[in-house]
Amino acid sequence: MSLSRHAAVVEWDTNPAPEAPLSPESLKESGLTSGFICDMLLRTIYSRGVMLGRDLSQYLCLPFKVIREPLRFLKDEKLIQVDGGDLVGDVSYRFSLTELGRDRAKSCMEQCAYIGPAPVPIEDYVEQCYRQSVTGLQCFPESLKAPFGHLVLKEDMFTAIGPAIISGRSVFIYGPPGNGKTAMARAIGDFMNTAGGSIYIPYAFVADNNIITVFDPSLHVIDDTATEYLDESDATVRKLLNTGALDQRWVRIRRPVIVTGGELNLQMLDLRYNAEAKFYQAPIHFKANGGVFLIDDFGRQLVSPKDLLNRWILPLEDRHDFLTVASGKKFQVPFEQLIIFSTNLDPKALVDDAFLRRIRHKVGINAPQRDVYERIFAANCKRLGMNYDSGAVDYLYERYYTKGRTPRASDCRDLLETVQSICRYRRQPVHLTRDLMIEASASFIAEFT
C-alpha cells in the first residue's frame, strides 16, 4: 500500500471536493513495483515507438523521478537504448527498444497489453472512495429547488427526497406510469452531478497485478475547473516534474450519474475481461461510486427482480461489493453510491418484504390531482411558448379523466406537443384552443379509451 498523501482543495458549489491525491515522490509512494513500471515502459515504447523521457512520464502520468530508476535498469539490462537528447538531462533523452527489449516487450504484451496512465493501488482507490462517499452530503430544501425547478412537486415530495439524498442509501420510487418517476430520479442525479461537488477517480487501479480500468469518458464528466487534467502543454509536464503537484493518475470528475434500464443484466455487474488485451473494465455500477446509479423500469429487465436484488443483498446492507478476476480471486471494493430503483409495477409483486426492508427510502408518486395537473399543463404551455387555455383542460376532464382514464403528468407534454405539431403542419402560429385539444387528444388518447 502506498503512502497516503493528500492536498486540500477549495469548495466547489454546495459541497466541497474531497482531498486530492498528491503526486508520488518516489517509487514506493506510487504503490507500484519497479518490475511493474518496467513492463509498462516496455509496452509503451513498443506500441508508440521512440519516446522522450518527459513524454513517457506524461503518458504514464507518473513524475519522471518515479520512472528514472526503472529506465536506468532497462538500459543496464540492454532492453532500451538512448538515441540522443539535449543538455536538459535524461528527461530529454530519446528512448527506444533494443532487439532484446523488443522480444521482452512482446512477451509483456502477451501477458497484458494495457498501456496508458499507470494504475493506482487498489488500497488507494478504496481509501479515496470512502473519503468521497455520498453519505452525508449537504442537501437543504433550497438547494434542491434548482434541479427540481422544471417539475411540479408538492412540498411533501421534497420532504421525502432530501433525507434520501443525505442518507446516501437506496431509494425506491414507484407509482403509475407517466407521472414523473424517471424525471424525479434524474433530477436527483442532476443535484448530485452539480451541487454534489466533484470527486477523484483513477484511470485504472491494480489488484494483485490485475489492471482494472475505471474512468469511462462516455459516463464520467470531467470537472471543467480541473484544468490540470485537460492541459497537455508544458505546464502539465512541469506538474510531473515538481513536488506537491496533484497525482495525474487521478481524474477530477463531477459526481457520476449512471442510468440503466431494461438492458441491465447480471453480466453487466461483473468485471469485463478483455481476453485479447488481458485487462479488465470495471462493471457499470462500480463506475457510479461517489454518485448515483439509477435503474429505470425496474422489473422489466431480462433478469428477474429477485435475481437482480439477490446480487445486491450484501452491497445494500454492508456498503461494499466484491470483484472477481479470472483466476477466481475476489477483491473487496466500496459500494458507495445512491442507488435508485424506479418502477411503475407494484413493488409487492416485484420483491418480498426482506428486500424492501433493505431499500431504505420508498417514495410513491401517484396520479396528479387537478390543481397539480393544471400547474403541469401551464408549465408545459410556457415551455412550448404557447398560450394557456383553461377550456382545453376542461375538455380533457369532461371527455376522459372523469370517465375512467387516470390523469398522467406526461399527458400534458404529449398532448401539447401534438398541438404544436398540428399548428406547424398547417403553417399557422403555435397556439392552444379547445378545438385543437379535441383534435390532438383524439389522436393521442382515443386508442387507449
Indicate the number of domains in the chain: 3
- All residues at 6 or more sequence positions from 165 whose CB lies less than 8 Å from its CB, including other chains: 137, 139, 144, 188, 191, 192, 338
Instruction: Specify whether 297 is located in the same domain as 281.
Output: yes
Q: Are 263 and 374 in the same domain?
A: no
137 and 111 together in one domain: no
Q: Kindly give the residue spans of alpha helices, DSSP state H, lying in 200-352.
A: 234-241, 305-311, 313-318, 347-350
Question: Can you read off the three cell numbers belonging to residue 209?
Answer: 497485478
The answer as to whether 20 is a domain residue is: no
- For the residues 79-85, what does the mean pLDDT come to? 87
Q: Please give the Cα distance from 295 to 338 (Å, whole number).
A: 11
User: Is residue 15 domain-resident?
Assistant: no
Which pLDDT band, with edges at 50, 70 and 90, does 211 fall under? very high
Burial class of 432 by CB neighbour count within 10 A (0 to 12, 13 to 18, 19+) = buried
Of 278, 281, 272, the residue nearest 109 (C-alpha): 278
Give the distance, in angstroms, between the CA of residue 266 and the centroid of all CA atoms in the same chain: 18
Q: Are residues 347 and 405 in the same domain?
A: no
| Residue 174 belongs to some domain of the structure | yes
User: Does 40 map to a domain?
Assistant: yes
Looking at the fold, whether 211 and 285 belong to one and the same domain comes out as: yes
Residue 247 CA from chain centroid, whole number: 21
Do 274 and 346 reside in the same domain of the chain? yes
Q: What is the pLDDT of residues 412-429, one digit of tens each?
A: 999 999 999 999 999 999
pLDDT band at 233 (very low <50, low <70, confident <90, very high): very low
Helix spans in 293-366 (H):
305-311, 313-318, 347-350, 353-358
Q: Could you tell me the CATH number of the domain that includes residue 294?
A: 3.40.50.300
Residue 255, domain extent: 129-229+241-364
Is 21 among the domain residues?
A: no
* Rounded-to-integer distance, Cα 304 and Cα 351, Å: 10
DSSP 381: H
As a whole number of angstroms, the distance between CA 361 and CA 385 comes to: 37
Q: Give a yes or no: residue 209 inside a domain.
A: yes
Q: Is 329 a member of any domain?
A: yes
- pTM of the shown model: 0.81
The pLDDT score that the predictor gives to residue 202 is 96
Asked whether residue 250 falls in the same domain as residue 399, the answer is no
Q: What is the mean pLDDT of residues 228-234?
A: 45
% of the chain exceeding 90 in pLDDT: 47
- Which of 87, 117, 147 corresponds to the end of one domain? 117
Work out the percent of the chain whose per-residue pLDDT is above 70.
90
DSSP string of 118-139, one letter each residue? PPEEHHHHHHHHHHT-STT---
Residues 165 and 284 in one domain: yes
Domain membership of residue 8 (yes or no) is no
Give yes or no: residues 170 and 72 share one domain. Answer: no
Q: How far apart are CA 153 and CA 150, in angstroms?
A: 9
Q: Do 182 and 298 belong together in one domain?
A: yes
Segment 355-407, tens digit of pLDDT: 777 777 888 888 888 999 999 999 999 999 999 999 999 999 999 999 888 89
Q: How confident is the model at residue 314 (pLDDT cuts 50, 70, 90)?
A: confident
Q: What are the two backbone dihedrals, phi and then psi, of residue 293, each rounded to the nearest 5 degrees?
A: -120, 110
* Claim to verify: residue 211 and residue 323 sit in the same structural domain: yes
Alpha-carbon span 204 to 251, nearest angstrom:
10
Q: What is the pLDDT of residues 132-168, one digit of tens each?
A: 888 877 777 777 777 777 777 777 777 777 787 777 7
Q: Which of 82, 117, 152 is the C-terminal boundary of a domain? A: 117
Same-domain check for residues 185 and 212: yes
Q: Can you name the residues that pair with 280 across neighbouring β-strands?
A: 212, 273
Last residue of a domain, one of 364, 388, 415: 364
